[in-house]
Amino acid sequence: MKVRHFVIVLLLVSNITFSSGFLDVFVAAASVVYTYFERDDLLPFDSKRLEEDLRENFFGQHIASNVIRRAVSSFMTDSKPNKPLALSFHGTSGTGKNHAAKIIARNVYEKGEDSKHVHTFISEHHFPHKQKLDLYSAQLKQWIHESVSRFPRSMFIFDEMDKMHPQLIDAIKPFLDYNARVDGVSFRKAIFVFLSNAGGDVITGVTLDFWREGNIRENLWMDSKELEIKISQNIFNDKNSGFLHSNIIDEHLVDHYIPFLPLELKHVRQCVMVEMVHLNVTQDSDLADEVARDMPYFPKEERIYAVKGCKSVRQKLAQHID
């Protein structure tokens, strides 16, 4: 109806008259154009493309890869979802949480993370002053509401969620609810991704114990050590976490708490190989091994997991090249 009204007004302003039949054809054509612009930058979703992207560019995270693939594919192919997709990524720094969010974005939008429909908020950068929480909350609500009203398939990434004040987390809550419609706008097609270091120590401890028991890393799944339950309990019991005082957990509005495991040397080596491509350096497995081994690892005796994951890999590679 909006298109029809727009066209009629346009014709009246232009002092143009058409027969009813021609007007219907014209309105139909305009509707196609309107729909095209509404879908601007939105890729036709392909679950196989997402699966391949995760397999080729997301290292050492078989649990996260599996949950992300299933959750995003199910959501994107559901013509009538009953709530927005809400994913919470948990793990220590450098394990690939930001990278995973970017992979989702580039499989939903033509411009990936650079799409105007992908909105990233960093807690300590965008909301630095506690005395301005009322202002931040109002601005955040307005930003989310206006973004989705313009483009229903908007994506919101909240980094450093563990440092976010509960008042700001509760500002997001209305948009995450089942059959969410806020001030006449439906949020059921929006995507929310929360990135957090909360639960990172629990995940690392479970992974290390699993290794010390002589188990293969890839045999560790969400239910094998009640990993998801342990993550949610850790978040809920963390007095420093904004989640503790927020209603988001209580009302079960997060669809998946996804663990990002600490990375091993072989995964860091894979990251180095990818960075060689980005730096236009001929891929060299020996050099990749040298760079990977030069990174710090823990525990001190076994040196199993990379302290910084794949962070600083590009800088370390650049030093070796120089």
pLDDT of residue 229: 82
* pLDDT confidence tier of residue 40, bands split at 50, 70 and 90: low
- Above 60 in pLDDT, residue 130? yes
Annotated binding site for ATP: 91-98
pLDDT of residue 16: 43
DSSP letters, 141-160, are: HHHHHHHHHH-TT-EEEEES
Residue 122 to residue 82: CA distance in whole angstroms: 28
Is residue 309 within 8 A of residue 269, CB to CB? The reply is no
pLDDT of residue 75: 98
pLDDT of residue 241: 65
* pLDDT confidence tier of residue 239, bands split at 50, 70 and 90: low
Q: List CB contacts of 229: < 8 A, sequence separation 6 or more.
A: none
Annotated binding site: 91-98
Residue 230 to residue 102: CA distance in whole angstroms: 26
| Residue percentage of the chain with pLDDT more than 90 | 68
Lowest-confidence region among 103-107, 186-190, 221-225, 301-305: 221-225
| Residue percentage of the chain with pLDDT more than 70 | 84
Residue whose entry in the numeric block shows the structure tokens 């105007």: 116
Q: Which two tokens stand for residue 115?
A: 């799409």
Is residue 96 within 8 A of residue 260, CB to CB? The reply is yes
Residue 262 to residue 267: CA distance in whole angstroms: 10
Closest C-alpha among 49, 41, 188, 165 to residue 110 = 41
Q: Which helix (H) or strand (E) holds 211?
A: helix 200-212
Residue 256 to residue 295: CA distance in whole angstroms: 31
Q: Where are the beta strands (DSSP E) in the chain?
A: 85-90, 118-122, 155-159, 181-182, 185-186, 191-196, 256-259, 297-298, 305-306
Which of the two residues, 11 and 175, has the higher pLDDT score? 175
pLDDT of residue 223: 79
The per-residue pLDDT for range 303-312, each reduced to its tens digit, is: 999 999 999 9
Q: Which two tokens stand for residue 170?
A: 């509760």
Summary count for the chain: helices (H), strands (E): 14, 9
Residue 130 to residue 124: CA distance in whole angstroms: 10
* pLDDT confidence tier of residue 247, bands split at 50, 70 and 90: confident
* CA angle at 260 for the pair 128 and 285, rounded to the nearest 5°: 110
Residue 158 to residue 156: CA distance in whole angstroms: 7
Which of the two residues, 247 and 26, has the higher pLDDT score? 247
Which amino acid type is present at position 146? E
* CA angle at 293 for the pair 292 and 296, rounded to the nearest 5°: 95
pLDDT of residue 322: 72
Give the three-state DSSP class for 311.
coil
Antiparallel, parallel or unpaired: β 297-298 and 256-259: unpaired
- Above 80 in pLDDT, residue 29? no
Average pLDDT over every residue of 122-139: 94
Which amino acid type is present at position 3? V
- Above 50 in pLDDT, residue 1? no
The per-residue pLDDT for range 249-271, each reduced to its tens digit, is: 778 899 999 999 999 999 999 99
Q: Which two tokens stand for residue 84?
A: 């927005």
pLDDT of residue 227: 81
- Above 80 in pLDDT, residue 4? no
